Chains A and B, each alone.
Chain A
Amino acid sequence: MGMREKDKFELEKSNENPINHHSPGGMSSDWRFNTTCIPNSSLGLVPADNQMPVCRGDLVGAASCSSASVIDSFGPAMWEHPTNSQNLVFCDINVQNIASSSNTVGIGKGAPASLRNGIDRTLEMGWNPRNSILKGGIFLPNAPGMLPQGLSQFPADSAFIERAARFSCFNGGNFGDMVNPFGVPESMGLFPRGGGMIQGPAEVFMGSGMKSVSGGQAQKNVMNAGEASKDVSMSVDDMATEWSLLKNETKSESLARSRDEAKQGVGGSGNDSDEAEFSGGRGQDEPSMLEGNCGELSAKSLGSKKRKRTGQDAELDQAKGTPQSAEPAKGSPETQQKGDQKPTSTTSKGGGKQGKQGSQGSDQPKEEYIHVRARRGQATNSHSLAERVRREKISERMKFLQDLVPGCSKVTGKAVMLDEIINYVQSLQRQVEFLSMKLATVNPRLDFNIEGLLAKDILQSRAVPPSSLAFSSEMPMVCPPLHQSQPGLIPTAFHGMESHSDILRRTINSQLTPMSAGFKEPAQLPNVWDDELHNVVQMSYGASAPQDSQDVNEPLPPGHLKMEKLQMLLVDLFEAVGCPQQRVLRAWVARNLSLSWGFGFYLTTSVV
């Protein structure tokens, strides 16, 4: 939704203000806004465009329109108009900027945009810088890095500074609100400050700015004070100046009420963490200031304060959890809108825009995240993510199956792989059927107790050495019957057999030891067996080492107990392997017992 709104806004902006065309990205870049903030900025721009007409009427729009920044400024001006005709517009702009600038860069951009708004460039500049500082500077007005951007913006704004100065105060309030929508904690903090600034009338601003100027802020304030607009532009040039402006705004408010408070607010602004608190303080101060300054202004300022406060809350929420920030931000926009509506009908528009902006701002992070990950619309995001997870799962299992099914490793494509898997399962099931048929014919011969059968089964390799042991010999045996019984089976069965042998080899090579252990599990301890086997083999090997394998074979088998034992063990091994195969066995013996291939061969052959 936010994206769509942004897009619409951008379109509107582009239509209304050629300068605005920058689009979110362009705007941000032009304005030095963070690219990330683009959507926000664009949003802000849209509202700005809408407001622009109004703002222009108010004077704000005209000034801002001058350049690309004009669009932005218009937006702000518009915004300011609703709440405090000029100030409100600026605030909106700033807010937009902030929203867009959720990143520090975005702040910088926001500041430029506000400058462009130019209506009261100085004011806007000041606001923008503040916003930018807040965003970019991490809410700390002091952030030096922010200053450059602000400076650039400020120049543009300088023309408007004076107007902005008036509006800026208002805007400050708006900004605070705007910030809230943005949901950026830092920006939020800045907003409150900005709001405070806004609340303080331009004059107050100047004065407060001067007073607050103390330190870097003092300078900024001075700039603002001395032709708030011009100074503001100057301050804009320097991030510090921007910060000071923001601080000045806050300070101005506080100054109106009390310089001390303003200073505190400034100090708070100086510290990002403190910004929230400061903003709160400012918000409170602002109301008092407004009241003291003018009934109307105070009313507006109160609205702005309320907004600011909400914004602060939103900021806090955001700081706590970005997701939560969206709601607070929305709430703040609403509050802002209300405030705007009260002051003027235009404000309501601005508020609506602000609300949109806020929502957009909150949406932006999600969208960006989505964009990075899925490249899809928001609606499909969760679905696409889930789908991706599912696909990963499937491919993972497919890989696993690939290892299980012979001949599947070469296959590419899941469909073909599935076919292979199906074929393999079918072949296995046919093999079971064939074997059961074979067993049925053989069955009558069964006449042992189970243990005896098991033992014999284990020893079967001895009884049926060539066929069972030798894979090559086994193949022909299996194939013919298969062929006879089920012609279609032959190829698959053969394939399965082959694969089976391959798998066996693999598994045996890698896991023969554990398998044999597990195999013997029931009757004997695997480890013991393994050790025994190892020892036996070693012993026999030691004995036979000097001689030829054949020579060893002759003497050992007959009388050598250990050799017999070894043979038994090997038989067990065969059983463990399931489908004994000389090659496999040899490989295993050679590998696990560190015997020569030849000796392994001798062992197997002797067993056979």
Chain B
Amino acid sequence: MTSKHVIAAARTSSIKTRFARRFLRSLLKMKRSNRLGTGSQSNEEIKKRSTHIIKTAAYASMARAVGPRRTWSRSLLFKLRNPRRIQGVSSKRCLVTKENKNKRITRNKMQIISREPPSRADSLRKLVPGGDSMDICSLLEETAHYIKCLDTQVKVMQSIADYYSN
């Protein structure tokens, strides 16, 4: 048990280190490429954009630190790699499914569906990347790991922000 704990701790710490390294590197890249904070855009826009970029970088570095072992990191990496494709596909799919639903589903069924509030599992699926295709068991498992990683991410980012803000 103790060995397990040690291993788990080592892994998490290594993930943390890897994430910190990657994240800092990407931040540095951004800084060097001058993508952040420059341009003719207004301050608000720049802030928004840089926030988004940094957020994406943080998620990406965390997903890369975790590697393809986890479903959520895999799907996150996939999304990061092909954002457009996914968007297009998903929108198309959405359209198709909506049409089909409208055509196929009877009124009663629609009522039933509409009556049911989105289940908690579904809302969790939306939160965890790649959770759409998971059953509840694996969803919970992935959620646990995702929470761990998010926790680490927040910690590291917090420390970095604290460091830079001073």
Contact = CB atoms under 8 A, between A and B. Distances in A.
Interface of A: 390, 393-394, 397-398, 400-401, 404-405, 415, 418-419, 421-422, 424-426, 428-429, 431-433, 435-450, 453-454, 456-457, 460, 463-464, 467-468, 474, 477-478, 496, 500, 503-504, 507, 510-511, 514-519, 521-522, 526, 575-576, 578-580
9 closest A-B pairs by CB: A518-B13, A460-B163, A578-B155, A518-B10, A440-B50, A397-B140, A514-B9, A436-B54, A435-B157
B153 interface: yes
B46 to A, nearest CB: 8
Given A453-B24, A454-B21, A440 B47 contact: yes
A369 to B, nearest CB: 26
A526 to B, nearest CB: 8
A515 B9 contact: yes
B13 A500 contact: no
A191 B17 CA distance: 74
B162 A467 contact: yes
Contacts of B112: none
Given A436-B58, A457-B163, A425 B124 contact: yes
A401 B55 contact: no
A422 B123 contact: yes
Looking at chain B's contact residues, the main secondary structure is helix
A446 B10 contact: no
8 contacts: A397-B144, A425-B146, A426-B127, A435-B58, A440-B50, A442-B161, A443-B27, A443-B54
A256 B11 CA distance: 81
B51 A514 contact: no
Contacts of A446: 27-28, 30-31, 164
Contacts of B156: 578
A446 B24 CA distance: 9
B75 interface: no
A418 B28 contact: no
A166 B145 CA distance: 76
Interface residues of B, number: 63
B151 A439 contact: no
Contact of A511 (B6, B154, B155): B6
A464 B162 contact: yes
B13 A463 contact: no
Given A578-B16, A578-B159, A432 B55 contact: yes
Interface in B1-32: 5-6, 8-14, 16-17, 20-21, 24-25, 27-28, 30-31
Contacts, number: 206
A515 B13 contact: yes
Nearest to A448: B28
A46 B157 CA distance: 76
Nearest to A401: B144
* Most chain A Cβ neighbours within 10 Å, of B6, B12, B55, B163: B163
Interface of B: 5-6, 8-14, 16-17, 20-21, 24-25, 27-28, 30-31, 36-37, 47, 50-55, 57-59, 120-121, 123-124, 127-128, 136-137, 140-141, 143-144, 146-148, 150-166
Contacts of B146: 425
B27 A464 contact: no
Nearest to B137: A393
B17 A510 contact: no
Contacts of A575: 159
B121 A418 contact: yes
Contacts of A426: 127
Given A397-B141, A425-B146, A514-B6, A433 B14 contact: no
Given A437-B47, A444-B31, A514-B5, A521 B17 contact: yes
A393 B53 CA distance: 38
A507 B11 CA distance: 14
Contact of B137 (A397, A418, A422): A397
A579 B9 contact: no
Given A440-B47, A442-B161, A521-B13, A500 B155 contact: yes
Given A397-B140, A437-B47, A440-B54, A519 B5 contact: no
Nearest to B6: A514
Given A446-B164, A463-B166, A425 B150 contact: yes
B159 A467 contact: no
B147 A514 contact: no
A501 to B, nearest CB: 10
A394 B136 contact: yes
B91 to A, nearest CB: 23
Contacts of B137: 390, 393-394, 397
Contacts of A428: 147, 150-151, 153-154
Contacts of B11: 518
